[in-house]
Structure formats: structure tokens, C-alpha cells
Chains A and B, each alone.
Chain A
């Protein structure tokens, strides 16, 4: 019964494929994004954020200093996810663990993953790529991976494009890790110490398109944000102090219990 709950939770969390009891496709990496992105429903392909590795690696050249981002997510009370990423200008890497613990004697659900992203900046244009390694550990060990391409154009309106799974190999034999194209528009505004950002992404262009929107508003130390997409509401915020930032997001599913995403960033 708990296995069903976990499957339901993962599907509700935005999963696209759960085969043979392993978390396949982009699920793990979508979940590993920071609380900031989650608070905007995942919208923000055109934004530069501490979790650019997960959202749009083409934004990596605009990263400032060293940023260590750690994310924790409680997935509807059924599973826990932990991720740590380190970002430098032009380069970032991350490790992710999703663990549902022992569902029944001898049956566990556990998946780990890693991502490495790199990008270069050509004036207002960033071009980058990302390699993702997906390794379901339990109940069925397997290995898969995907290569993604990304583009970011910073004009008055930012345009981000991410083509996920240009090359891919599903960890589940016989299943596809389908390519997916996403296009996002973002309008970041900074004035008088205030920050406003609005973002709208069109996901899975050419496949089954869906729109997610999000926005955030705040000052240097406090941001509040909200988003809507895939039938769920997302609300969240950020508090920054000293070297640290704390992002949180609450995902309100129509029927399931709320899910919490919290990420902690250290800026060096």
C-alpha cells in the first residue's frame, strides 16, 4: 500500500514516468531544483537563479562567486529528497538522493543522480549544456543518462530555451527518456532596491504542452513568490542574511497533503 502511495506522490510531484518501481526520466532532477524555483511553479527558464543548473544551465555564466545550494523535499509524506549542488561562474555540479526508505521487508525505493552543467557567455547570450546521470539503486539497480542543451538571451525580456534529453538512455529497458523542449519568457525588474520577476514557461513544446507561470517580489532580504501550473498552486519565499539564503515553497495539491520544499544556499 505504501508503494502505491509513493508512486502516487511521485506522479503528483510532477513525475513523468515510474516504471518497474524506479524513478525514471526527469523526475529526480525536477524535484532537486531549489525552493525558489518550486515557489514559482518551476517557471523561470529565462531567469538567473542559484539553481540554474537545474532550470537553465545557460544562465551559469552570470553566477556570482561560489554558491552551495542544498535542497530538502518532503514528498507528500511518502519520500524524502536531498540534493547538494555547487555552482561557480560557468560551471556547476550536483548530487541528488531520493529515498522512500523500506516500504516493506526487503523492498526499498532509492534513486541517486548527478548533474554537471557548463556554459559560456557571448555578450547577452549564454549557451550551455548539462549532463545528467540517473542511477536507480533499489528495488531494481539500473543506470541511465541524458544530455541537455540550453540557451539564454538577456534582453529587456529574457528568453530561455532548454532542450532536455537531446541524447538519452533510460534506466528502464524498453522505456523512453523522451526529449523535451521548454521555452520560457521572464521579465526581471530591479528598481529602488526592489526586485520583481515574472516568468512564464511553455513546457514540452511539440509534445503535450503546458504552461506554468510564476512571479516574485521583494527586497534584498525578503522575497515572496507564487506560481500556478499542472493544476497545483505554489507559494513560497526567501529570506537572506549573512552568507545564507533560505528558500521555501509549499506545493498545494488539490487532493494530496501539501508538499514542502526547503533549500538552503551559502554564498561564498
Chain B
């Protein structure tokens, strides 16, 4: 509907725009179009670096066009295309503006800043038209919404995080919590000797013993013995562990130990494949289904052969410890920001860790690593939980908003004040990164409203969304404006849709004017929001068991349950679940058929074959085979199976297939059979005496002489078929119908839906809507809605549909009924991909809002009084937030002459009036006097409390500052903070700063800050003293800085100091033996609590025209007392450059550095780096060409590369050539490329043709050719050739 309207509107606006007379126009198009065709031959690996495939021509095009056209004096077209950007980044807008009419078609914004009336900043695609008559203006919009509104807030350079650690997974409580969210915490070992950065080596060791090889052979992995033996010790990557210092050193794993073990085996398998060059089906793969019971057993046993080595000290996996370290997921956590809550086993609520009842629970923060070290009682780990809220430091001024933003949709506010793009910030809309030009201060807040693209890389959207609107404005009647907008989703939910369609309507009215000297503005609005974005989630459908089968494997009998979320296998009291991630073709299991040596699984996305030829077959990757429609299955969903007559039969929604059991994975050999006319959806299949019987949603059909014939009482929906003797039992919506061998029929169960049938020890069992029934019984064996039944050696199994609480149990009936609850079966009671509607009446919000503002000037005072009210549920289209708020406010601003400026304001407001009212009375006084020294006074009293006028918490912020600047002397004293009268507490800080010229050339500055807090930890006192000097003497110019920083936690008496000093000496140019010498020396010294370091650097420029020499020496030394590690470094550099020869400019650069790490426990470790670069440029005067040859040698890489670039500017056009030769690790790679670019006319002239001239001047052609050669250290030479041509036109 919406789309048809949009087309009609488009046509109307187009007609309005164009149905005029003569078509004079003025069009400007600026841009470029290119076509490039390239093709490569040779090595695929080398060509991939050029984005080419061997023998495959590649056509690439680019187009960039900026279009602006005007016609008839009232039509304007603006368009911008760049095909390197996505569709959301293309602009076009057609405007027809002929008073009193105006129409727009294309992309534009509704409700831009300052013009919104019920709609806030929605960028749309569509049309809008307006009529502005003498006394009235009417406008309408008909658009498609392109983005989904979002809001992000950032506070200072800090991020907020919260992590909950539990015993069980929060979403699937029948599973244990994942590694990083488990109360058990990180796996760790306590190190026996301290860890030294850069010197201690951490490796993973496999104990290459006979016991290991025997173990691997037992598990079918003997083939990796050779590769494991080759590399029994492998290094752990830096990201896989962390060292925690808290007393002694502990080494904790940042990946689960089982993952390390799995990776090691997988790496050995990869090495085996690489060594033998195995590909395709011969390639070995990791044999276990990840996290299956079989794999868990394997990895547990394997772990006994693993250890982490710290240097030569071994820490075996079996000695891993837990229950000490909880990783918060962010580094650099801010001390004092961490809050810990604890939920004891058996309790529902979290308590603060400071609760006196939790005296045995202690914790400390390791801030740099973002880890909390805990010491909790052992019994806590049975079912306890920990919640940790914290803040962490963010770096930089970049803020990630997420991918694919709608261009121009952002509104950015810093402390409530709007910022301007280009002036205050910039945005990369594709990447979704906002960069502020000035960083946020710690207490500043950045709020960003924006829209994210619907679809693509943006937000997944279930519906098409449109915005309609109508606005009326009557300027002569108190500037009356009326707006009515409706944003709504189009479409109906299908079972897989996760949300309900939203319909959001807003009606608004605004008037403004003047009365008796007062300016007033009044606005009123109401909204109805049906299924708002945060309240539109449909509820999951209940999971149900669809099929039950018994399957024999070498290790025993399995009972297999197929349900909406996959497959669950039961054996020896243990259930294990499998889904698409483990090998299933699809998600939902419709049918099961057990055959000797294999299990057929019919899913919603094809056939899955589980080969039952090994013990624990479901846990082995190689047991699973997937066959889909693309492979030859006659349909997408495999719905039913049958077996008989030596064959196997399978039914899909599009047809049937017959095959022998041995061809189950060879669908090309299958015989295809058509469905009955009308293609009723199959539900069951049966083989009876050479005849196929098909159950469908529309009755039973029998196949006779190649034709389907309806049998029984047609029309009933069939759920299952069962053969008993010569009779076919049919489970239907109406009971069980028996089709006799002679053609007669009989109902044995009537009046209820029967879902499944099974024969067990000759007795009929059936699953019905009221329970599991045994043939002839008066009451069900199990009550409740049962949907599947199946026999097994241990009894009759049954399963049903999950109840309203999503509990799904399995039952086994032998001598008595035994229940297997969800905690044992681990079957999720929710159908994870199908959802049900929710009622609109429970998910609709209504709301009203009103605002009145009065303002007037009284002498030198400007007064403003405002009242506003927003009823809960009111929502503006496009703006998040719906909580209610009500308040009145005034502002008085002194605007007179003189040194004083004064603003007094006050506001009373109440939020959540209907539910939990919270009142807030605020005032503000800001006075600034600048008659001499500058005096600033700011008081912000606030009273808050539960209830509209119950102000039980009174506090006031203050800020006092006096400062002055006279010449080079500046000083200031400041105090700021908050005082609470409710609990007679105060928190704030006092500070002072002073800067003055001490002696000539030196400026001394100091700052002091001391926090105070009457309750809680006060913080840290800081004193910073800085002396900066500069001067010149004896021909040497010097600059120096000395800084001393003293920090003192007010909890302790100890001061920590950090010192830094820098000195730079520059001597003017001296002439020595005909050489101009310019030496520079700089040195620095820093010392902190954890390290001291000094460094010095000396450079000298020696110029003896036309030769320039530059010499450099760098030395440094550092020491870390905590680990006793010291480092010393020496660097030498030399460069030579000459302009002696006209047209030739050679240069040589050499640098070498040595870094020596020392520690009492380790041998000295010396690292050397060396680089030599020789470069020569030729550019003969008047030749028009330039060639640059560069040769670079690097150590320790041992690489040598030679590159050459030749560029030649022709009279019309240019030619360039790039070539390179690289030797590294014994391999040689060479690449040569040539590119020629010419204007088209120049090319024609060169070929002897007549130039085209005119518009062809803008055309150009370029050709490229390249050759790449690589000679590996071991192996054969590979090479590739590529050529290409680019045709381009500029306009």
C-alpha cells in the first residue's frame, strides 16, 4: 500500500515539476567515469595481490558525478553519485518551487533541529509538498524511513562496564557459564620465580612420551605423532596469558585451557597436512565435535600431557588453580570506580560486598589488567554469583557508534550544547566513527543522536517503515501550527519474524506571539505508540519433540530425539545436544530413520546422515554428512522417511525420492517420485507390500501403478503412519484411523489429535494432545500434550511441547513413567527461530506533553518563565526516551553595563509522577566580577526526594575562583565541590596555581590540588612544580624543563614522586675546515615509582656544499626496580646526500641500534637492528623524466629490496614504470609494472588518425602491464603476468 502511494506521489510531484512550458535549462555536471579491464595469467597466489584471478578478465568501473541543474526558473535538481560508496551515500533531490507551491522529491530531513513538531531529525526518502497561501500554509510528507534512531552517550574519557559472573549460563541455565563469565574465574598457576618482562619466555609443552603416543593412537590420532615430536614446545602468544602481580606473580590464561589443548592438536593436524601436501578429501581434520562429551573426555586426558613452561619451569595443566581472578573484560580500570555485589547460593538478590554479613568475602582490584582478585568461601562456588560494575579509561577522541550510519543524521551535543560537523567534530558514516576535535574532559558528557541504515551492514529490519505527515500553519493566528505524523511498519509477521510491526502517531499543536509585553510560546502534543521499539519483541514459540528413534552404534544403543532446535542423543543416562554447528543440515528435525550403520535425519534444510560406524558417533566430525537441494535432494525440507522392499524412501515438500540405504549420501543415484496433484505437504511416509503410502496435510494417498490415489477419509490432516500387520494406522487431527488390508476403515481413537504412533513389544502406543497412551488403557501413561513417541530397548520414550514456562520434559515408560527434566536433557524449551504474536493492548504507550514559555525584559533584567509537562509514554518520532517529567522554571539574567554579570535561575521538577515520583528543586547563581582580579562565584543548590515535594536530600554545588594575570605573573585559587546537608557531608577540592618569571630566562609554575571528603576515601593530593627555561650563551641556544610531581594518597603518609627533566642544546652553524657544522644535543631523565630512565641524543649536520652529512648518536638506560630488569641502548645513524651533480641526487642512510636487556637471573640479551638505504634520483634538466632507485637492506630480517620508479611526462600524457626486487628468507620476489596514460586525441594522432577534438578532449586512455616472479627458498619458481587498460572521461 505504502509503496503504491509513494509511486503515485512520485508521479504527481514529477508532473507538478515538469508539466510546464518551454524547457530551458542550466545544467552543471562535474565528475569522472572510468572503465578498467585487467587480466592476469600465472600464479593465483601472486595475482591475488593484484585482485585478479588467472585467466579471468576483471572489469571495474568508477563513477563520480556532482549534478546541479535548474530549469524553468523553479525546478532544481541536486544529485551526487559515487559508486565507491553504498546506496545510502548517494544523494538526489528534485525541488519544484513556484509560489505558493513547493515540492521536493528525493532524500531530505523531516524535523530538522528547530523545526520539529512531533518529529525529530528523521532522514527520509520520499516526497513532500507544501502550499503557502496568504493566510494559511499546508504541508504533507509521504516518505520511507531510511534509518533507525539510536542514541549513544559518553562521559569523559571513560567507559562504563558491568560483568556478571555465575556458576550456570545466564541464558541457558542448564549449561555451565562460559570461561570469562564463570565465578571460577581464570585458570592460573602461582609462579615459583618472579616473571620478568621481555626476558621470561612462556611456552606450551607437550610431554612427548610413549604414553602420549599410545593415547593418541587410541583416539585415532597417531598420524600427528611425527609433527608433534617436531615441535613439543611452542610459544604462547602475548594475548593468551597475563601475569598478575599481587604479592607473588601468578600466570593466568586468557583462553580456556581446553582451547589451548584443542588448538595444539589442530596445529599438529595442519602441520601434518602441510608436510604431506594433503588436500581435498585426503586432508586430515580435527575429528571431534567441539565441546561434545567425547571431546571433553579427550581433552581432559590430553591435558595430563600438557604444561606451561615459564622459562624452564614447568606448570602442568592438572595443577591449574581457579577461584581467584575474575577478568572484567577491559584493561586500565579506574580505581575507586569498582562496585562489587554478591549473590549468595540460594538467594535471589545481590548484596553489596560491603554488607557486614559478607565479611568473609574480600576482593582487590588489579587495575592495569582489569582483573578482580577474590577470596571467597568455598561454598560460594556451588551456586553463587558476583556482579561487578566499573569504569575504565578510554583513550583518544574517537567514539564508535557502529557501522552504516545514515549520512547527516547525527545530532551531537556536548554538555547539552549542539556541536557543528566540520567545526567541532567529523564523522565517518560507513565505519560509524565520530572524532571530536577537542577531547572530552573527565566530567563532560557527549550525547549523539543518529540513525543507522536499515538493512545492509546496518540494522536488521523486519518491516518496511514509512512516515506520513500533515502540517498546517496559520501565521496570522498566533503563529498557529498543527502537525500530525504517523510512522509505521508495513507487513505482517511470519513465524520467524522477531518483532511486531510498530505504528507510532504523534499529533502536535503550537502557538506563539506577544501579549501585554510578554512573549509567549505554547506547544501541546500527544502520541500513541503501538509496539514501540523496546517493547515489540514477539515471544518464542514452544519447542516440541517431533521424532524419536533408537539407533545402534558400536558403543551401544542411542535414543535420539528430533526437535525444533536440533537433535538430542541419549545414552547411559546422559543427554547431548547437536545442531547446525555440529553437522546438521538445518535447525529443525522433522523426521528420523534408523538404518543399520546410519541414522537419517530429515531437517528443514536437507538431509543429514549420521554414520554409526564408530563409538560415540555423534561427537565425531567425520560421522556427519549433509545433503541439500543443491546436491539433488528433491526439495528443501526433508519431512518424512519410510523403509521397505529393500529401499529407503524420503519425502520433501516438492517431491519424493527412492534409494538404497547405501546410496543415502549419493542423491544423484536417487529415483525421484512426484507428489500427488496439488502438492499436498507430506507429513508421513510408509511402505506396505510394495506400495508407498503417503500421509499429508490433506489426507492419505497410496501409490498404485505410478499414480497417487487418495485413501481413507480424505481431508484430515495426517501426523503419522504406522504399519501393523497388514493394517495401516493413521494418526490424524481427529484420532486414529485404521486402514485395513482389504480396503476397509475403522476409527479406534476418535475426538482428539494424535501426533505420533509407535509399536513396542507388539503393543501400540500413541502420543496425543492429552497424553501418552497405551493401547487399551483407560488413562494415559503420561499426562500432557505429547507430540512424539518411540520405542527403545529400555522402554517407550515420549516427548511433547514445552509449556508456557518453556519447560520441556522427556518421559520413559517401562514399568513406570520416568520423567527427565530440562536440567538433564539440556533441551531449550524455546523454539529459537519461531515466534508468536503479543497483544497490542499490552504493548501500546500513550502520552501527552505540553510546554509554555513566557519572557519579558524589565529594565536591565531579562526574565523568562517556563512550565512543561510530559505524561509517561509520550514519545516524539525519532527521539528516544519516554519517562515523564513536569516542572516550572525561571531565569533572570542581568544585562546591564559594568564589571558584574549575574544569572539567577531556578527550577522545580518531578519525574515518574505516576509511579515513583521523584522531586527535584534546583537553583543556580552565577556571578562574575571582573573589576580587577576576576572573581567567579557559582552556587547550585539542589533538593531531591521521593515524592513531588518531599525533599529529603539537600545538597549544593559550589565553585569559587579568584584569579589574576599581570604580565607574566598569573595566579589563581579555586575551590569547588558539593555539600550535602542531609548527611552533613562535603566533597570537593581546593587548588591553586601560580606562574611567575623567577630569573631571566626561567619561568616557574606550580599547581596544588587537594581533595577533601568528609565521608569515604578522599583521594590523592597532588603538587606539580615545573621550571622552564631557555636562553643562549656562547653561541649555544638551550631549552630546559624540570618537573617534579608529588602525589600523596590522603589515606597514607607516603608521598610518591615522579621527576622528569629535559635539556636541548643547539649550537649555531660553525664553519670548520670549510664545513658548516650544526650540532644538537638533547637529553632526558625520568623517574617514577616503577622505573627510572635516561636518554641522550646528539645530532650533527655537516654541510660542505653540495654534500650534506648527518651524524646521530642515541644512548639510553632504564631500570625497573620491581623486577630488577635493566636495559641499555645505543643507536648510531649516518646519512649522506649530495647535490653535486646536476640532475642526479644520490643519498645514503645507515642506522644501527643495540638494546641490551640485563637481569640477575638471566644472561644478557642483546638485540641488534640495522638498516641501510641507498637512493638515487635522476632528473636531467629538460628531459621530462625522473627516475628513482632505492636499495634497502634490513637486519635481523635479512631482507634486501631494490625498487625503481620511472615517471616520464610526455607532451600529452605520461608514462611510469615501477619495479621491485625483494630477497627475504632465501626467497626472491620480483615485480615489474609499466603504465602509459595518454589523452585520446594524442593517441589517435600517434597512430596517424585524425584527432576528434571538441568534447573528446576530456577522454584519456591508459595501459598497464606487469610481471611478478617469485622463487621460494624451497619449491618451484612461480610467476604471473597481468595487463590492463583504463578508459576515462572527465566532465
Binding site for B on A (CB under 8 A): 19-21, 70, 72, 74, 76-77, 82, 84, 95, 97, 99, 108, 110, 112, 137-138, 174, 192-194, 215, 217-222, 224, 226-228, 231-233, 235, 237, 239, 241-244, 246, 248, 250, 252-260, 262, 264, 266
Contact = CB atoms under 8 A, between A and B. Distances in A.
Nearest to B497: A255
B632 interface: yes
Contacts of A76: 455-456
A232 B144 CA distance: 13
Nearest to A102: B48
Contact of A82 (B60, B86, B144, B1289): B60
B778 interface: no
A237 B92 contact: yes
Interface string B940-964: 0000000000000000000000000
B967 to A, nearest CB: 62
A19 B629 CA distance: 9
Contact of B7 (A228, A243, A254): A228
A19 B59 contact: no
B4 interface: yes
Contacts of B58: 97, 99
Given A194-B19, A222-B18, 8 more contacts: A70-B35, A84-B59, A224-B17, A224-B18, A233-B7, A237-B79, A246-B63, A248-B92
Contacts of A252: 3, 6, 125, 144, 464
Contacts of A217: 11, 14-15, 18-19
A239 B94 contact: no
Interface of B: 3-4, 6-7, 10-11, 14-15, 17-19, 21-23, 25, 27, 29, 33, 35, 53, 56-61, 63, 65, 67, 69, 71, 75, 77, 79, 81, 83, 86-88, 90, 92, 94, 105, 125, 144, 146, 453-458, 461-464, 490-491, 630, 632, 1255, 1289, 1291
A217 B146 CA distance: 26
Contact of B630 (A21, A74, A97): A21
A205 B669 CA distance: 34
Contacts of B462: 255
Contacts of B86: 74, 77, 257, 260
Nearest to B58: A97
A258 B63 contact: no
Contact of A224 (B14, B33, B454): B14
Contact of A259 (B87, B457, B464): B87
Nearest to A193: B23
B454 A242 contact: no
B90 A248 contact: yes
Given A243-B1255, A264-B63, A193 B7 contact: no
If over half of A's interface residues share one DSSP class (helix, strand or loop), that class is named, otherwise mixed; here it is strand
A197 B1160 CA distance: 89
B453 A138 contact: no
B81 A254 contact: no
Given A257-B88, A262-B83, A235 B23 contact: no
B59 A246 contact: no
Contacts of A257: 86-88, 453-456, 458
Contacts of A239: 27, 29, 67, 69, 77, 79
B537 to A, nearest CB: 17
A208 to B, nearest CB: 14
B18 A219 contact: yes
A155 B648 CA distance: 61
Given A194-B23, A219-B71, A239-B27, A255 B10 contact: no
Nearest to B453: A257
Contacts of A262: 63, 81, 83, 90
Nearest to B5: A233
A138 B53 contact: yes
Contacts of B22: 192-193
Given A112-B56, A219-B18, A227 B81 contact: no
A174 B1291 CA distance: 49
B454 A228 contact: no
Contacts of A250: 87, 90, 125
Contact of A20 (B7, B56, B75, B630): B630
B94 A224 contact: yes
List 7 tightest A-B contacts by C-beta distance, closest first: A257-B455, A257-B456, A219-B23, A260-B87, A77-B456, A254-B464, A233-B3
Given A112-B57, A255-B464, A233 B456 contact: no
6 contacts: A74-B83, A82-B61, A226-B10, A228-B3, A250-B87, A252-B464
B61 A258 contact: no
A266 B6 CA distance: 32
A255 B461 CA distance: 6
Contacts of A74: 83, 86-87
A208 B783 CA distance: 48
A77 B88 CA distance: 10
B191 to A, nearest CB: 38
B29 A222 contact: no
Contacts of B65: 246
A232 B15 CA distance: 22
Nearest to A231: B3
Contacts of B457: 77
Contacts of B454: 257
A252 B126 CA distance: 11
A50 B768 CA distance: 65
Contacts of B17: 224
A244 B1291 contact: yes
A232 B1255 contact: no
A137 B457 CA distance: 26
Given A21-B630, A110-B56, A254 B463 contact: yes
B11 A226 contact: yes
Contacts of A99: 58
A51 to B, nearest CB: 16
A192 B20 CA distance: 10
B39 to A, nearest CB: 12
Nearest to B462: A255
A24 to B, nearest CB: 11
B27 A241 contact: yes
B1154 to A, nearest CB: 41
Best-surrounded residue of A226, A227, A231, A257 (most CB of chain B within 10 A): A257
A20 to B, nearest CB: 5
Contacts of B4: 228
A220 B61 CA distance: 26
A193 B464 CA distance: 38
A171 to B, nearest CB: 13
A158 B463 CA distance: 38
A114 to B, nearest CB: 11
Contacts of B81: 246, 248, 262
Given A221-B69, A257-B453, A262-B81, A226 B87 contact: no
Contacts of A95: 59
B209 to A, nearest CB: 36
A19 B83 CA distance: 29
A221 to B, nearest CB: 5
A229 B29 CA distance: 31
Contacts of A110: 53, 56
A215 B90 CA distance: 22
Contact of B1291 (A82, A228, A241, A260): A241
Contacts of B1291: 241-242, 244
B695 to A, nearest CB: 28
Nearest to B105: A224
A47 to B, nearest CB: 17
A248 B31 CA distance: 15
Nearest to B14: A224
B56 A256 contact: no
Contacts of B61: 70, 72, 82, 84
A19 B628 CA distance: 11
B630 A19 contact: yes
Contacts of B83: 72, 74, 260, 262
A21 B631 CA distance: 11
